[in-house]
Amino acid sequence: MLSRTSEYALRALIHLAQHEEDWPISGAHVAGETGIPAKYLSKILGDLVRAGVLDSFPGKTGGFRLRRSAKSLSLLDVLAPFEQFDRRRCPFGNEDCSDEHPCNAHDQWKKVIETEQRFLIKTTVRDIALRMSEDGPKSKTRARKRRPKS
């Protein structure tokens, strides 16, 4: 239900959170490690800087870092620049779907939206980064670190 841009933003922020000791991290490095196209990621990272989610540092040793701790950064904070959570269209085509003028599925759909909102507000970047570090998809960095040395 999220746009590709939002998915990439989450992947990039999770990568940054998992590699805090390496900050600032270049956009090219994040792109290479996450498999996100570099030009697309560059725009996303710029949007996140303008939204106050990231700090950027220019130059050869520059890159990006989270502006706030991953523990205080909700998934909603990351997605808000890319998604319009406050202005959702009725998925059933009603032009005026509201509590006052509900469609046939309004009450059930409203529960789905409210559950999603609670999840995005309550869940932090750190929550996801920790879970992914423990048992989720492995990044290229983690795979390299796990190979035995010759």
Query: What's the CATH number where 126 sits?
Result: 1.10.10.10
Task: Render the burial of 43-58: b for 16+ CB within 10 Å, e for the rest.
Answer: ebbeebeeeebbebee
pLDDT at position 17, please? 96
149 belongs to a structural domain: no
Query: Domain limits at 54?
Result: 4-142
Peptide linkage before 24 cis (omega within 30 of 0): yes
- Express each pLDDT in 94-129 by its tens digit: 888 888 888 888 888 889 889 999 999 999 999 999
14 belongs to a structural domain: yes
100 belongs to a structural domain: yes
74 belongs to a structural domain: yes
Q: Which residue has the higher pLDDT, 11 or 109?
A: 11
150 belongs to a structural domain: no
Number of domains into which the chain is organized: 1
pTM: 0.80
- 83 vs 76: CA distance, rounded Å: 9
The pLDDT of 87-95, averaged and rounded, is: 77
